[in-house]
Structure 1
Amino acid sequence: MALRMDNMGIVVDDLDEAVAFFEILGMELEGRGMVEGEWAGRVTGLGDQQVEIAMLRTPDGHGKLELSRFLSPAVVSDHRGAQVNALGYLRVMFAVDDLDSTLARLSAVGGVLVGDVVRFEDAYRLCYLRGPGSLLIGLAEELG
């Protein structure tokens, strides 16, 4: 059986800001568009919906992120401020070549370090940060 993860979806309140943030991280915009109508609502169970989406991919082409801004129906809950030990989907982790320069780029556009940059043995340097709309992302730099 073949299995490949296609993408991870994140609902945002400001699509332009989120796209710009992830482009600064190094992702590439594949496209933007509207997903709307009865057919889409049958997939999500939301009925008639109108959603603006942007699809981004990692430079290697293997990872994708779908950012969605719901125009209708309205967003019903907000768990962006949840701590790292909350149940459910929480964050996406990105492998980066240079953690310090990535943090500097993202901090310049509002990214905020959650805790500390830590070293896990001789394997990784890791951190979490909050991006646009308080989205939680992780960064990992593989060492030697």
Structure 2
Amino acid sequence: MALKRMDHTGIVVDDLPAAIGFFTALGMELVGQAPVSGEWADRLTALEGLRADIAMLRTPDGNSQVELSVIHSPKATAPAPWEPVSTPGIPRLAFVVDDVDEAIEQLRPHGAELVGEIAQYEDYVRYGYVRGPAGVIIGLIQELG
């Protein structure tokens, strides 16, 4: 077996249009949307009667994608985890941006909440975490120099 590449990261959200708005405000491109259901989807997810809508978004360089899904049925049995960054298994995505302050201001109208503070590591990066759709932690990295 040889790993070829990472294809995408998937996130289940409550509000698909709002999540699309968040990631397009970040600078991602909406590639497409589709409903998902049927026997193949049930087998893949081990969920009987899966009915979902998905959207695929791509980074400007074309190398990374995010799949956003809203699951209509079956309904989730628990809410999304809103745990601290230190919690094992908590999803965290990171994106390189031109200006971390500007990126946060563009994302605030889409529900972004700063987790801690924007911190600078030497002369290398400025880095901040925000909560994105469904509480997913989004790292925003500004490369310096």
- TM-score tier by shorter-chain length is over 0.9
The correspondence of residues 66-77 of structure 1 with structure 2, limited to 5 A, is 66-77=67-78
Q: TM-score, normalised by structure 2?
A: 0.93
Which residue in the other structure is 1:121 paired with?
Answer: 122
Q: Residue 26 of structure 1 aligns to which amino acid in structure 2?
A: G
Query: Deviations along 1:3-55, whole A, 9 cap, x unmatched?
Result: 20000000000000000010000000000011101111101111221011000
Which residue in the other structure is 1:85 paired with?
Answer: 86
Matches of 1:65 and 1:80 in 2, distance apart?
Answer: 19
Matches of 2:95 and 2:81 in 1, distance apart?
Answer: 18
Identity %: 47
| Structure 1 runs of 4+ with >2 Å offset | 76-80, 131-135
Q: TM-score, normalised by structure 1?
A: 0.93
Cα RMSD (Å) of the superposition? 1.3
Which residue in the other structure is 1:5 paired with?
Answer: 6
Q: Residue 28 of structure 1 aligns to which amino acid in structure 2?
A: E
Deviation at 1:56, TM superposition (A): 0.3
- Structure 1 contact 80–136 (Cα < 8 Å) conserved: no
Report the 3-state secondary structure (helix = DSSP H, G, I; strand = E; otherwise coil) of the residue aligned with 1:102: helix
**Structure 2, unaligned runs of 5 or more:** none
Which residue in the other structure is 1:20 paired with?
Answer: 21
Matches of 1:8 and 1:120 in 2, distance apart?
Answer: 27
Which residue in the other structure is 1:54 paired with?
Answer: 55
- Structure 2 contact 83–90 (Cα < 8 Å) conserved: no
**Structure 1, unaligned runs of 5 or more:** none
